Structure 1
Amino acid sequence: MTVRKLLLGVLALCYPVAIYFGLQHWSPRAMALVLVALALVRALTSRQAAWRLLAVAAAVLAAIVAVSDHALPLKLYPVLVNSVMLGLFGWSLRYPPSLVERLARLREPGLPPAGVAYTRRVTQAWCVFFVCNGALSAVTAVFASDRVWALYNGGVAYALIGAMFAGEWLVRQRVMARGRHG
Structure 2
Amino acid sequence: MLWNVLTAALTLLYPLAIWLGHGQLEPRWLACVLLLAAASRLPALRISAAARWSVAGAMVLAALAVWSNVLLPLKLYPVLVNMAFLAAFGYSLTTPVSMIERLARLREPDLPPEGVAYTRRVTQAWCLFFVVNGSIALATALWASEAVWSLYNGVISYGLMGLMFGGEFLLRRRMRKAVSHA
Normalised-by-shorter TM-score class: over 0.9
Contact 2:10 2:36 in 1 (8 A): no
Residue 35 (1) aligns with residue 5 (2): no
Q: Secondary structure, in 3 states, of the residue corresponding to 1:94?
A: coil
TM-score w.r.t. the length of structure 1 is 0.96
The 2-side partners of 1:72 and 1:121 are apart by 34
State the percentage of identical aligned residues: 52
The 2-side partners of 1:126 and 1:32 are apart by 29
What residue number does 2:59 align with? 59
What residue number does 1:110 align with? 110
The 1-side partners of 2:69 and 2:96 are apart by 42
Structure 1 outlier segments of 4+, above 6 Å: none
The 2-side partners of 1:9 and 1:96 are apart by 30
What do the CA deviations read for 1:122-174 (whole angstroms, capped 9, x no partner)?
00000000000000000000010000000000000000000000110111111
Contact 2:44 2:51 in 1 (8 A): no
Residue 22 (1) aligns with residue 21 (2): yes
1:171–1:45 CA distance, 2 compared to 1 (3 A): closer
Residue 95 of structure 1 and its aligned partner are, at CA, apart by 1.1
Question: CA RMSD for the aligned pairs?
Answer: 1.1
Structure 2 residues not aligned, in runs of 5+? none
The 1-side partners of 2:119 and 2:49 are apart by 23
Count, aligned residues: 181
1:95–1:45 CA distance, 2 compared to 1 (3 A): closer
The 2-side partners of 1:179 and 1:93 are apart by 25
The 2-side partners of 1:124 and 1:40 are apart by 29
2:21 partner letter: G
Structure 1 residues not aligned, in runs of 5+? none
TM-score w.r.t. the length of structure 2 is 0.96
The 2-side partners of 1:70 and 1:96 are apart by 43
